[in-house]
């Protein structure tokens, strides 16, 4: 049987769809500013700064080592990777993995993250569900299986209704994820309203700047540096240069005062 084309009251569009969009957007903006206010300073120790820079230097050596003479490259590689006293072999940092429960600053950070992000989402989702219940809000453009019905059609008790017709709660969740790009347009990158990014961060494990990783990072760099070879980019630079005349266009576009003559 062909799917019934439901004609939705245009009032729905006016009083449900648009308000939900506005609410989600404004809540996101407010979240962003609140997160800025609640941000705590991250204190970095000297060692962490120094280590991160050393790692950067080693990575640059790997990537751009081909621009310096072979001997210099080997000298630096030796400095880092030598068996006895290469930097990556010798330095062992004291490993103190800060577990979330014991490290007070991480704990407060987590709590703040939860409060600003998850809590409003739950609250507002529930409120919307309660206010805008009992009717169909919109239709998603692709067909869904029956499994999705209880999830997406929260207030609607029709068994025969196509699963593509969703309630306002699901429209709200759609908005939460969809407005992410709007936030980056308006608030700039790295904004506090970007929930999915934060959830991704939480899923990928603890913060990247953990000191326990330094030893592993060193080991990884050591291996990578062992593997790199030096292919001098300047082998045939003269030939390439002299294959054609220099491009001197526009060099002397205005009269320069010559001092000597």
- Contact footprint for other proteins (CB under 8 A): 44-46, 49-50, 53-54, 56-57, 60-61, 64-65, 67-69, 72, 234, 237-238, 240-242, 245-248, 251-252, 255-256, 258, 260-261
Q: Which is nearer to other proteins, 84 or 247 (CB)?
A: 247
Cβ–Cβ under 8 Å, residues 113 and 198:
yes
Least separation in angstroms between CB 195 and other proteins:
30
Cβ–Cβ under 8 Å, residues 193 and 39:
no
Least separation in angstroms between CB 21 and other proteins:
33
Q: Which is nearer to other proteins, 1 or 256 (CB)?
A: 256
Least separation in angstroms between CB 213 and other proteins:
19
Q: Which is nearer to other proteins, 69 or 178 (CB)?
A: 69
Least separation in angstroms between CB 182 and other proteins:
27
Least separation in angstroms between CB 207 and other proteins:
18
Q: Which is nearer to other proteins, 55 or 156 (CB)?
A: 55
Q: Which is nearer to other proteins, 5 or 239 (CB)?
A: 239
Rounded Cα distance, 164 and 161, in Å: 8
Q: Which is nearer to other proteins, 56 or 123 (CB)?
A: 56
Cβ–Cβ under 8 Å, residues 8 and 136:
yes
Cβ–Cβ under 8 Å, residues 55 and 221:
yes
Rounded Cα distance, 211 and 95, in Å: 7
- Tokens at 169, concatenated: 């709660």
Closest CA to 36 of 180, 187, 185, 176: 187
Least separation in angstroms between CB 214 and other proteins:
15
Strand 165-166 to 138-139 pairing: antiparallel
Residues 6+ away with beta carbon under 8 Å from 147 = 163
């Amino acid at each position: 049987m062909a799917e019934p084309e439901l004609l939705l009251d245009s009032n729905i569009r006016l009083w449900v769809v648009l308000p939900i969009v506005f609410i989600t957007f404004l809540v996101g903006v407010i979240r962003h500013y609140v997160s800025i206010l609640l941000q705590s300073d991250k204190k970095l120790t000297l060692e962490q700064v120094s280590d991160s820079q050393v790692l950067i230097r080693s990575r640059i050596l790997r990537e751009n080592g081909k621009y310096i003479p072979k001997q210099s490259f080997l000298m630096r590689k030796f400095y880092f990777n030598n068996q006895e006293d290469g930097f990556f072999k010798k330095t062992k940092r004291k490993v103190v993995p800060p577990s979330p429960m014991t490290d007070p600053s991480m704990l407060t950070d987590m709590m703040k993250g939860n409060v600003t992000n998850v809590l409003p989402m739950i609250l507002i989702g529930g409120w919307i569900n309660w206010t805008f219940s009992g009717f169909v809000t919109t239709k998603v453009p692709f067909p869904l299986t029956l499994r999705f019905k209880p999830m997406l059609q929260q207030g609607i008790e029709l068994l025969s209704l196509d699963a593509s017709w969703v309630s306002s709660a699901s429209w709200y969740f759609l908005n939460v994820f969809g407005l992410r790009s709007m936030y980056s347009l308006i608030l700039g990158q790295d904004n506090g309203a970007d929930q999915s990014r934060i959830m991704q961060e939480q899923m990928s494990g603890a913060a990247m700047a953990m000191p326990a990783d330094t030893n592993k990072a060193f080991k990884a760099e050591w291996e990578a540096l062992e593997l790199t070879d030096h292919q001098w980019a300047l082998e045939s630079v003269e030939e390439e240069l002299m294959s054609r005349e220099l491009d001197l266009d526009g060099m002397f576009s205005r009269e320069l005062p010559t001092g000597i003559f």
